[in-house]
Structure 1
Amino acid sequence: MSRVVVCGSLNMDIVVQSERRPSSGETLLGAEVTFLPGGKGLNQAVAAARLGVPTAMIGAVGNDAFGNRLRGFLADNDVDSSGVREVEGPATGVAVIQVAEGDNAITVASGANMHFTRDMVRHAPRPDEVWVAQFEVPIPESEAILEQARAAGARTVLNLAPYATHSDSLLQQVDVAVLNEVELSQASGMKIRSRSSQRTIAAACETLRARGARAVVATLGARGAVVVTSNGTTAIPAAPAQVIDTTGAGDCFVGALAARMAKGATPLEAARYAVVAATCSVERLGASPAMPTAEDVAGRLPKA
């Protein structure tokens, strides 16, 4: 079986739950706090591994307790963490997540993630692998890694999140680009909202295909996803869910997409599976701890 290699961020998520978000200048009592492993890279790696696909993580942590805990969490979830390097000086990345009314707001202190480099890749990519990157580590380093992976014949997935400016050549290294409606609006320069028509979303996705991405997937929360490939546009509806926490749902989608691609699925087939996986994830608290197993997803897949 092929494997998934995730290059990206590792954070300790400090999740604060409250009935509502405080207004500017307001102190709100009665909240609950939880410390959970996170970071887009770690989340996506755990999502792929829990779905039964061999997965490796490449990234950076600080010389501190959070870094040790994150590496231990990866190991506990059968993710190869030998590529996670400890860097001297900066602390392990931290994300403060405010959860209220079934939604979240996130502030990130990147720390060691900004010291991620292409030199941390110790093993050359293989043609049967799927390599995944995001925008929570230095983008030029991720571009160099994706270029190397593409040259080796591996398939590449880029999650353009959180959106940041990047070189014109980056998308030329990408087989599947994944982004939500906010990121799609930023990347395309078009006004995209959660209720934008499928035609408008597809047109925005086509702007990324014109820049080099071979397929583009727009994730739309409760609406599901829209997949745009050379064969056209397909809308994938989401199943109803009892939403507890949407943190990490997009990362679950990316990890599940990569896992299915590693098993030979097309981007469209993989996206159908990933929508179901993301639906499972929002019914639990946290990011990585909420990632579903293959059995969880199988129980929610549409019956043939």
Structure 2
Amino acid sequence: MMLPAIFGNFAIDDLVFPDGTTRWAVPGGSAAYAALGAALWAGSASAVAPLGDDYPLALLSAIDTTRCRQIPHTMRNWGLYEEDGSRCFVSRSRDRDWSLFCPSISDVHTGRQTAAHLAPMPFARASELIDELRRCEARIISLDLDNHDVSEPVTRDEQLEQIRAVDLFLPSKQDMQRIFPGLPVALALRQLRECAPAVALIAIKCGAAGVVAHIAGSQQILSLPSAARSVADTTGAGDAFCGAVLAGFASHADPLQALLQGTIAAACCVEAFGLSGLRKVDRKTLEERLRLAQNHVESSLF
């Protein structure tokens, strides 16, 4: 099977946590976390993202970086975490135009992909990439939304049109609040499904509360609790989830199995600092955790 392709960015982050502790110059970025999440289940994944020569490549040994376009330096962010689990990433002033650190249309043609994930990036760039990936015969496209320096004036209708163009929509709870302000997660999911009936899978990431999802045509809403045994650092967990879901869906087209693989990837991510939790997991451990997670899936009428 062709490697899943992750379109996103690399970053080096300075993090401030709710208890006042800090971690400086932490290598990360959506491309790194999502590609490592996919690699847990697919063996490897292809990152398609601009890559600065200041990024420690040794951390990406499980990822194919041959499609990464070289740029002078990696994007730098402030990452500010709140007590309620929310967080805000803000680019340093010299890196404020973060589209410069995202893949471009030409990057689609650096290789072939049957399955591609679009990590958070400016709305217009994501739409262009979706169109180009379809022209290049990508069969499965997953989408996460931009919550990084959100400034583009995007209407709800425009956002819904973009969502309808993909196969797997994997937003955060905060993303859904921007689309359907004030609605509880389950009700927002129902509203979205009415607007996008053909999207194969919609899965809303709810942090420590797990994932709420709906499979196209199903009469059930699925609830998957977090599989994390401890929490050291939540950075990148949503990206790891998305990469693993794409890899699972592309491999066997079983949405529930793909969701379970995503929850395991997110759990591995949060149990250690930075990228390390996704780099030190053997296949036997993954399969054992997957079997345990299957016993905790709940459903309710849609």
Identify whether the pair has TM-score above 0.5, normalized to the shorter chain: yes
User: d(CA) in 2 for partners of 1:208 and 1:241?
Assistant: 36
* Structure 2 portions without partners, runs of 5+: 295-302
Q: Alpha-carbon deviation of 1:178?
A: 0.5
% same residue: 20
| Aligned partners of 1:59 and 1:113 also within 8 Å | no
| Cα contact 1:184–1:204 (8 A) shared by 2 | no
Task: State yes or no: 1:222 paired with 2:222.
Answer: no
Q: Aligned partners of 2:185, 2:69: CA distance in 1, in Å?
A: 44
* 1:76-119 residue CA offsets vs partner (Å, 9 max, x unmatched): 4231212222346xx52112224576956333317374124211
Show the counterpart of 2:299: none
The Cα of 1:297 is off from its aligned counterpart by: 2.7
Secondary structure of 2:79 counterpart:
strand
Tell me what 2:291 maps to.
Answer: 302
Whole-angstrom CA distance in 2 between matches of 1:224 and 1:124? 34
Q: What TM-score, normalized by structure 1, do the two folds share?
A: 0.78
The within-5 A match list for 1:252-291 is 252-286=240-274, 288-291=275-278
For these two proteins, the number of residue pairs brought into alignment is 276
Asked if the contact 2:119–2:143 (Cα under 8 Å) also holds between the matched residues in 1, the reply is yes
Which consecutive residues of structure 1, in runs of 5 or more, have no partner in the other structure? Answer: 21-30, 62-66
State the Cα distance separating 1:294 from its structure 2 match.
5.1
Matched, 1:57 2:47: yes
Whole-angstrom distance in 1 between the partners of 2:38 and 2:90: 23
- For 1:159, the equivalent position in structure 2 comes to 144
Is residue 170 from structure 1 mapped to residue 158 from structure 2 by the alignment? Answer: no
- Aligned partner (choices 143, 160, 184) of residue 127 of structure 2: 143
TM-score, scaled to structure 2: 0.78
Over the aligned positions, Cα root-mean-square deviation in angstroms equals 2.9
Partners of 1:43 and 1:2 lie apart in 2 by: 19
Give the Å deviation of 1:236. 1.9
- In structure 2, distance between residues paired with 1:134 and 1:301: 24
Residues 108, 133 of structure 2: 8 Å contact kept: no
Aligned-residue offset at 1:10: 1.2
Q: Secondary structure at the match of 2:33?
A: helix
Deviation at 1:207, TM superposition (A): 4.7
The CA deviation string for residues 111-158 of structure 1, in whole angstroms up to 9 with x for no partner, is: 3741242112234534xx21010232x433332322233341420000
Cα 1:104/1:201, change in 2 over 3 Å: closer
**Corresponding residue SS for 1:255:** helix
Contact 1:217–1:228 (Cα < 8 Å) also in 2? yes
Q: Which residue of 1 aligns with 2:6?
A: 6
Give the structure 2 partner of residue 125 of structure 1. Answer: 112
Q: Matched residues in 2 for 1:109 and 1:265: separation?
A: 37
Residue 297 of structure 2: aligned partner: none
Relative to structure 1, the CA distance from residue 39 to residue 240 in structure 2 (aligned partners, 3 Å threshold; closer, same or farther) is closer
Deviation at 1:46, TM superposition (A): 2.2
